[in-house]
Chain A
Amino acid sequence: MRFGIFVHQNKRETSQMKKSSILGIVVIAIALSVIIATYGSASRYGTFADARKTNNELHVIGSLDKSKPLYYDAHKNANYFSFYLKDTIGNVSKVFVDGAEPQDFERSDKVVIVGKMEKNEFHASSINLKCPSKYKQDKLDSTYTYPVKTSSI
């Protein structure tokens, strides 16, 4: 926003130029920077193979591999939960989060995780579950995401 304020100050000095044109330029400049910043910060959907190749966080869509164990033991650590996820092309990887096991995790048929690979294990910063029978609603309906970290504002 520094940009916007800067141009405003400029405006007073260049009173010979039409204010509306300056404002127009400012608006276009901010609009463009918003769009560029959005796509600059956008993440990608990928697979575990993609995640191994990059250090950036990305979105992996997959389904819970029910043949492998879920691990959550609140007695040992209430903030560690791990499971195995099969991505869209069938690769399975261990995934862990720093948080509690989401309620009804085993019922989910589709899981979207956001995070990155750390030593062959996927460290998810958030888990988003889709369960088959619910979501009839168009209204807010949201316990099913678990932002594991509180986002810092």
Chain B
Amino acid sequence: MAPAGNWESLQAALQAGADAIYFGVEQLNMRARATMNFTLDDLQEISERCSEKNVKTYLTMNTIVYDHDLTLVKAVLKSAVEAKITAVIASDHAVIAEARRVVMEVHISTQLNITNLETVRFYSVFADVMVLSRELSIRQVKAIVDGIKRENITGPSGNLVAIEVFVHGALCMAVSGKCYLSLHTQNASANRGACVQNCRRKYTVIDQEDGHELEIDNEYIMSPKDLCTIGFIDQLMDAGVTVLKIEGRGKSADYVKTVTQCYREAIDAVDAGTFSQDKVDQWMIRMEEVYNRGYWGGYLFGKELGEWTNASGSKAKTRKIYIGKGHHYYPKSKIAEFIIEAFPLQVGDRVLVMGNKTGVIETTVQSLHVNDDGAKEMANKGDRCAFPIDTPIRTSDKLYKIVSAETEEPSL
């Protein structure tokens, strides 16, 4: 299950072979800021784009809910049912109850922090899928899955309750994201989807009595590394987890595409019996190119202490720089034309084309046709340039160059 914070990411998830996507509309989800969300009017198109590819659509509505939100809850769920959205990911009981009333499938959000079989049984009256707490070990996850089978715990559909876990992406220092820090310092409640991620900054600890600064090896004392389970995804699947969730509605489409593709390949490899350390190494190389705070296996092996990051932002080995915008596509010759608006482009450059309908295309510039001057090695700002790409691009698309994270900004 891949995150879709916007059209670009949604399209990237579809291209990368996700079985399901999750997204938010309006403000009642854990990424409430408008830039990471869709609106009610988008529901129909989300549903159509995904059902065409047989991909399930999950609407997240998992903040705490106040009385003034109840009408919106009803309106969103009504629209979601009409648009044939597959299910809602909920935590507040008002949302769960309303979803049942309008006969919408319910998935229990990790915000409800399910950590044992009896809680699964409790929520099985309402929900067919449950996301377990991010803090459980594989052993604990397996015990819950085994218990569901042994005691035949079924959801409203009559099928056994399915278990979902987070397999990749940001973790935070708070249990199941129930954090007060952002509210405390910025008045921005994480539990209303407005987390400002102040845990990701550097801190020093000072003893107020004598003014001594505590010696801390790492100043990012509250910022864990990102979860990555691809190296032991076979064990998670063996444990009976059926839904594997990738975090990242606030991240860019190239992250969504790369990470989803890697996990798609990993799952298929496990199914085919070809999962191997060599392959894991290859997937890790690819995933280290996109946004990450360094990776660790989370709590799935019952680590006593978390692993803290040593950087404020991404440790990705590459970054993308904006080059220009789409201009034209020649379908017969499969040539894409772009206008260069920023930095120069050269033959041999690795590039990304990103857009709401296009999603993410990655390719290498094999040859470059500049303006009407024929083949060239380089195109500069203001130039119209063309190179071969197998799939169509659009005028709304943006062209980026992938460079090593250490590369300084090239001169214009």
Partners in one complex: no
Interface of B toward A, CB cutoff 8 Å: none
Interface of A toward B, CB cutoff 8 Å: none
